Structure 1
Amino acid sequence: MLGESDEARQFGLRQLKADHSWNNDFHVFSTVWKTDSIQLLVDGEVYGNIYPPPGGFANVEAKYNPSAAGKWKTGSPMAPFDREMILTIGVGVGGHSFPDSIPGKPYTNVDGKAQYKFYREKNTWLPSWTNGN
């Protein structure tokens, strides 16, 4: 949420585990954006409360993305989340968002040919994208 690195993306979050695969059903993702915090939920269950750390998010951004940290020093402790912005919701396919331990994953995160191996296995995963899915 705070940047592109794994650490920045996971700031204030916890891992939400299910006893079944996430693709077995539809889910409701919610964001409650307040003046002093941001709360993230899946199907009504909180998986993250993001509060500004001491000194505000500029101190966190200095660690993850030093070139952008200066922009975050103005405003409230919630800056840059103290003004209107656009939320982007992404759906991941492949990439590093999936642990190597997932059954059937045809590549490892550090594999130089990960994209090729993912594409090579398209006959395995592509059928799940049919019938309006």
Structure 2
Amino acid sequence: MKILKGIEIPISICISYTILSMVNVILDLLKGKDSGSHYNSLAMLLLCTIAVLVLSIHHLFDEWPPIVMIIVQYIIAMGLVLLFVFISSFFSEINEGGYEDIIVSFTIPYIIGAFIYYSSVFRSAKRQDKLIQEINGRQEK
């Protein structure tokens, strides 16, 4: 399976951040709201980083069934996000319902990103299996 490493991790973080930032700006424009503060931009970058890093460690769970691996990774990511919000609460006030908001705000893009990521991982694994079968078929002849 393809493992994100080296320069691929920051590139994935940048792409994810850019996409989420643009979606956020477009949604805010449609709602007629201000697009937020610099703190929100930095928080979004940190959340993208958490998501990409947690998804990129999937190879540590290869022995596990895929659905269990995906759920465990989500729990790890959500734990880190909630830890970030908890630590942030010492520096700025968290609105009532802030934890619920962050869960929803993180979960929806995470599910979309995880779907895209795991689709490419599973496609890559199928291609590798097909190649191995072709090689084994040639060796048997």
| Structure of greater Rg | 2
TM-score by length of 1: 0.27
**Which structure dedicates a bigger proportion of its chain to helix?**
2
> More strand per residue: 1 or 2?
1
Q: Structure 2 length as normaliser, TM-score? A: 0.26
